[in-house]
Amino acid sequence: NLSKRLETVARFIPENAVMADIGSDHAYLPCFSILQGKARLAIAGEITSGPYESAKNQVIKTELQNVISVRQGDGLSVIKEEDQVDCITIAGMGGGLIKKILEEGSSKLTTVKRLILQPNIHSIYIREWLVENNWELVDEEIIEEDDKIYEILVAEKGNTKKPYKGVSFHAGLLLGPILIAKKTDVFKKKWLHESTHWKAIIKQLEQSGHTYNNNEKYRDLTEKIKLVEEVLES
């Protein structure tokens, strides 16, 4: 059984996709996507030997060697032109690392029609990268599993500014323009929790003599709390 988190990622894989799952670990996502009849072909990329071996074993166990190619390498470097990959999934890493993988592999994105990204933290880095590189957010999901909250970002080439129409751009980058529009209970829970945490940090900063005027962290957190409260109260 696949986790709710990876199942949500899989839901966005187009029919007949040729997918590359980067940082695939056990290759559960490509195996599931092929067995579900969604992806037609898959590449499972892994940089680390242990997870690379476990991906290979899983593919053998599910007898999918003829449709899933397991490759060891850094980020998108495992993708070749002749693969004609049209969908990339990157899940379970920080937003900073996902952004770095996309940036360093930008030459491999020419055939790609859809990115499905699931950052554990710092999804703002991904939204900023998407805006700067002509990818349009076409959907976002926020889910809760085992007391953890996850965001899934889906992007296609297009009008980068479109999803931000009608929301404050800075709030959109931080919280997600589509997630703001959906404003689910899980979304509210996440941002209430974050802003409570930030307020506790501000209190500590105040106790050691810091203020908005003399401390950058204080300013940064204050600005973010303001963005979050505007969204939650609207």
> Where do we find the tokens 């941002």?
191
CB of 130 to ligand SAM, least distance (A): 19
Give CA separation, 152 vs 95, 227, 233, in Å.
Answer: 11, 21, 24
Which 187-216 residues touch ligand SAM, going by CB under 6 A? Answer: none
Coil, helix or strand at residue 66? coil
Nearer to ligand SAM, 70 or 101 (CB): 101
Across the chain, how many H-helices and E-strands are there? 9, 7
Quote the CA–CA distance of 12 and 10 in Å, as a whole number: 5
- Residue 101 CB, shortest distance to ligand SAM, in Å, is 5
Q: Which lies closer to ligand SAM via its Cβ, residue 56 or residue 224?
A: 56
What DSSP element (H or E) covers 102?
Answer: helix 95-104
Give the footprint of ligand SAM on residues 20-79 (CB under 6 A).
22-25, 45-48, 51, 74-75
Q: Is 119 in the site for ligand SAM (CB under 6 A)?
A: no
With contacts defined by CB under 6 A, how many residues of the chain interact with ligand SAM? 17
Place of tokens 């990818």: 135
Of the pair 120, 168, the CB lying nearest ligand SAM is at 120
Cβ 209 to ligand SAM shortest distance, Å: 39
Q: For residues 88 and 90, give the distance between their C-alpha atoms in angstroms, rounded to a whole number.
A: 7
Our finding on whether 94 is near ligand SAM (CB under 6 A) is no
Min. distance of Cβ 146 from ligand SAM in angstroms? 13
Least distance (Å) between residue 45 CB and ligand SAM = 5
Report the nearest approach of ligand SAM to the CB of residue 136 (Å).
Answer: 24
Instruction: Tokens for 209, please give them.
Output: 């003599």
58 vs 195, beta carbon nearer ligand SAM: 58
For residues 189 and 170, what is the distance between their CA atoms, to the nearest angstrom? 20
State the maximum Cα–Cα separation within the chain, in Å, rounded to a whole number: 63
Q: Is 91 in the site for ligand SAM (CB under 6 A)?
A: yes
61 to 25, 32, 64: CA distances (angstroms): 15, 13, 8
Where do contacts with ligand SAM occur on this chain (CB under 6 A)? 6, 22-25, 45-48, 51, 74-75, 91-93, 97, 101
